[in-house]
Structure 1
Amino acid sequence: MKSLARSIVWWPGIDAQIERVVQNCSPCQQSRPKPPHAELHPWAWPSRPWSRIHCDFAEPVRGKYVFCMVDVHSKWVEAEILPSTASAPVIACLRRVFARWGLPDMLVSDNATTFTSDEFQRFLAGNRVSHRTIEPRHSQGNGLAERVVKEVKLVLQRDAGDGWELALSKWLLRQRTTPHSTTTVTPAELMLGRKLKTRLDRMYPDLNRSTGWCGMHYHTGCNDAAH
């Protein structure tokens, strides 16, 4: 939160004020996770995006499942609400994600039957995607996905009536546009090579708008939504 704020604005005491906002947020304090355990066997950092992805399920409440995937290089997160944890809907979800980003070199998961089923194994083998599973007593090996799952759970637990789909979409945009503590840049920059525009960016003056230029028309007070 501090990194995101400082990337847009700054004033004396901004860090302390942000800390007070979080400390006075009841939902934030009530759902704070325990400090993360240290990862026992850290993975090597891939040199390019979408080479190794880690995945896991978030099962918050109300019988819904969120399938979470995170790219290790960029920390870019993909998450979709699914009707069940069966292999078929997970494969369908992966097909949609792979259509956007291409095939990864490796997928890392736990040993749930979703990922160890013959159907799932044939899907990965047919696409030449290596599959690495984590030993049951060494779940820290999939720690990156587990941290994402915890964050998604908190987002859905704090849902203020917007609905899960909208709450998840809002969080994904925030996650992709906030500098990551490990890489110090946003996931979008490493994944896409550019920053994604958010409402915070509207705080900067729009030079095109100030000159009245919009596409083929030159006039003042142009309504972007009309073009």
Structure 2
Amino acid sequence: MKQNEAPMERSHSWEPSSRTWQRLHIDFAGPMSGQYYFIIVDSYSKWVDVIPTKTSTSQWCMKQLRNLFCNFGFPDVLVSDNGAQFTSKVFKDFLQANGVTHKTSAPFHPSTNGQAERYVQTIKKLLKCMQDEGGDVDHKLCQILIQLRKVPNANGKSPYDLMFQREVRTDFHVMFRNMKD
């Protein structure tokens, strides 16, 4: 091993989750257009949430996670990279107090948090494609999330189906209903 090389760590292979909200993967995308995007992915359903922000502190992350936990319950495991906001004592204490096991990806091996990393790349790519359309980033993000959540996974079910046990109702359904009338 050369002096400046990081020690080789084995990539972590995650056991498949057996239910929604069992294991979440989190990461940040950005900065893009002066904002970061906090990305949260459920490993079972592939449900993704993206929250735009200008900050990425531990306190801010805890607030966002608290809101998600309020809506969906506490996950068993939360996987993050080794960013300072995720490795701070206050963040670790927050997870521990809520009964959430915190796992971090292997340093210099972002693929060990691949669920979040894939969505980081997807969100960046899609926002960049929509850049020339003009308009509000929040609206674009909503459009992206609806599409990502309604597309079936390899198991034939969409993230929305798996999270809520029903098909998502979109503006397409309204248009189709109006065409029938």
Query: Above 0.5 in TM-score?
Result: yes
Amino acid at match of 1:118: K
**In structure 2, distance between residues paired with 1:124 and 1:173:** 29
- Bigger relative contact order (CA 8 A; separation at least 6): 2
CA contact (8 A) 2:12 2:106 kept: no
Instruction: State the partner residue of 2:146.
Output: 173
Equivalent position to 1:96, from 47, 67, 70? 67
**In structure 2, distance between residues paired with 1:60 and 1:138:** 21
Identity %: 38
CA contact (8 A) 2:78 2:100 kept: yes
Q: Shift of the alpha carbon at 1:64? A: 0.8
Unaligned runs of 5+ in 2: 1-10
Q: Shift of the alpha carbon at 1:49? A: 0.3
**In structure 1, distance between residues paired with 2:124 and 2:33:** 12
**In structure 2, distance between residues paired with 1:190 and 1:41:** 25
**In structure 2, distance between residues paired with 1:203 and 1:62:** 33
Unaligned runs of 5+ in 1: 1-39, 211-227
RMSD: 1.9
Q: Shift of the alpha carbon at 1:41? A: 4.0
**In structure 2, distance between residues paired with 1:62 and 1:111:** 24
CA contact (8 A) 1:68 1:80 kept: yes
Larger radius of gyration: 1
Q: How does 1:1-227 map to 2 (within 5 A)?
A: 40-158=11-129, 159=131, 160-180=133-153, 182-202=154-174, 204-205=176-177
**In structure 1, distance between residues paired with 2:111 and 2:24:** 15
**In structure 2, distance between residues paired with 1:95 and 1:82:** 16
CA contact (8 A) 2:12 2:105 kept: no
Deviations 1:181-204 (A, max 9, x none): x33221111111011012333465
Q: Shift of the alpha carbon at 1:156? A: 2.0
Q: Shift of the alpha carbon at 1:132? A: 0.2
Deviations 1:31-86 (A, max 9, x none): xxxxxxxxx54311111101100000001423211000000100000110122111
- Which stretches of structure 1, 4 residues or longer, exceed 3 Å deviation after superposition? 202-206
CA contact (8 A) 1:124 1:130 kept: yes
**In structure 2, distance between residues paired with 1:172 and 1:162:** 16
Q: Secondary structure at the match of 1:46?
A: coil
**In structure 2, distance between residues paired with 1:155 and 1:119:** 33
Q: Secondary structure at the match of 1:59?
A: strand
The number of equivalent residue pairs is 169
**In structure 2, distance between residues paired with 1:113 and 1:60:** 16
Q: Shift of the alpha carbon at 1:205? A: 4.6
**In structure 1, distance between residues paired with 2:168 and 2:27:** 26
CA contact (8 A) 1:82 1:89 kept: no
CA contact (8 A) 1:108 1:131 kept: yes
TM-score scaled to structure 2, two decimals?
0.86
Deviates more, 1:156-165 or 1:95-104: 156-165
